[in-house]
Amino acid sequence: MGAVIRLEPDRARALGVRPSVSAIILDRRRGLLLQQRSDGGQWGLPGGSVEIGESVRAATAREVREETGLEVTIRRLVGVYSDPELQVIRYPDGNVWHYVNLCFECVVRAGELQTCSETLALRFVSPRRLPATLLPNHRVRIRDAVARRGAPFIR
């Protein structure tokens, strides 16, 4: 596959479990904000690991601000994702982590789109026309978000 982020079938290779967050950000036309990641070149939702001493709310706001330039607040919890089939990830550097991810739908309060060292590009896309290089575990989160179910998904 080359130097891309991919699912790791051998769970024993994971260095540990990491709490993480991801953000569903929709524009007025219901376009979804995607980030092209610099660590593998694939597309995905803005987000990342929760730091020690940080709440998931603060982590979501920080990760979105760092990766997109936008200031957001959380609207709702889309779901909690921990299934090792989709959440044990191998990075191009060889590190493997098992992520427990909380995905939130967020509302933009301020800021302008801007890239950073973690972000090659930012683009609003139709949730029905997702890029082929979208991270597979993010595809599930997006599908759950657009389902608009009242209760969060637990996967």
At residue 40 the predicted structure's pLDDT band, cuts being 50, 70 and 90, is confident
Residue 20: predicted pLDDT: 98
Is residue 77's pLDDT more than 70? yes
For residues 71-86, give the mean pLDDT.
97
**Domain edges within the chain:** 6-148
Residue in this structure with the two tokens 């044990």, named with its chain if needed = 88
In terms of C-beta density within 10 A (0-12 exposed, 13-18 middle, 19 or more buried), how is residue 29 classed?
A: exposed
Residue 3: predicted pLDDT: 77
CA distances from 115 to 47, 50, 130 (A): 14, 21, 20
Q: pLDDT tens-digit profile of 87-109?
A: 999 999 999 999 999 999 999 99
For residues 112-134, give the mean pLDDT.
96
Q: pLDDT tens-digit profile of 2-39?
A: 578 999 999 999 999 999 999 999 998 889 999 999 98
Question: In CATH, what number does 6-148 get?
Answer: 3.90.79.10
What is the C-alpha to C-alpha distance for residues 18 and 130, in angstroms, rounded to an integer?
A: 26
